[in-house]
Chain A
């Protein structure tokens, strides 16, 4: 049976920790994985590094790779299976398209120096649980203060009793 070849637009979401070690290494891993399963890579370029709308695997930022490929649907399925098991790819999306836009085709696989890609550090915000832990201590302090107040209130009565006994 002959395999029908299609054109696909693909987007890959890469782990910033892996990209920090070398963008070219991460991109080459994606490219070699695609080619290993018989997909022809026409374009593979950096689309951007940005904040995620919701965290994925504990990461708040990630790097996006955009690609244009040619190959069969079976190859795409095999690539997806491999990417979700191994490597720096969080998510990948393959969309079948009719043709590759000329402006994209002109870009090809541009060379990027690792030093050109600046990835900001993720700021670790304190977790909500840390604030919750402080509440019992505050409650204890409040209870102690109430107990102290009540002890102070008892003393005048005791003094009165003492005065009465002295008077008798």
Chain B
């Protein structure tokens, strides 16, 4: 899934974030996303910001 190195994630880009989430709303593990540890942390933060702002659900 990773297309380039040092990817940054924007909490406003919901469609991009949902690629890395299950239908239930869980975040896919790094093993599945193929992101580096730093990128996976960035993804985690972006998803959590989006959840806080009710852009994506915590559980669906």
CB distance from B25 to the nearest CB of A (A): 9
Residue of A53, A66, A91, A93 with most chain B CB atoms under a 10 A cut-off: A53
A21: shortest Cβ distance to chain B, in Å?
A: 22
A64 to chain B, nearest CB (A): 7
Q: In the complex, what distance in Å separates the CA atom of A49 from the CA atom of B54?
A: 12
Minimum C-beta distance from A161 to chain B (A) = 66
How many A-B Cβ pairs are below 8 Å? 27
A92 nearest in chain B by CB position: B53
Q: Contact at A53–B56, with CB atoms within 8 Å?
A: yes
Q: Which of B11, B54, B56, B60 contacts A56 (CB 8 A)?
A: B54
Q: How large is the interface on A (under 10, 10 to 19, 20 to 34, 35 or more residues)?
A: 10 to 19
Q: How far is the CB of B38 from chain A (nearest CB, A)?
A: 16
Kindly identify which residue among B53, B56, B57, B60 contacts A91, using a CB–CB cutoff of 8 Å: B53
Which residues on B sit within 8 Å (CB–CB) of A47?
A: 12
Report 27 cross-chain contacts, Cβ distance below 8 Å, ordered by A residue.
A11-B12, A11-B53, A13-B53, A13-B54, A47-B12, A52-B54, A53-B51, A53-B54, A53-B55, A53-B56, A53-B57, A53-B60, A54-B54, A54-B57, A54-B58, A56-B54, A62-B54, A64-B53, A66-B12, A91-B52, A91-B53, A91-B54, A93-B11, A93-B49, A93-B52, A93-B53, A95-B49
Enumerate chain A interface residues (CB-CB to B < 8 A).
11, 13, 47, 52-54, 56, 62, 64, 66, 91, 93, 95
User: Footprint of A on B, CB under 8 Å?
Assistant: 11-12, 49, 51-58, 60
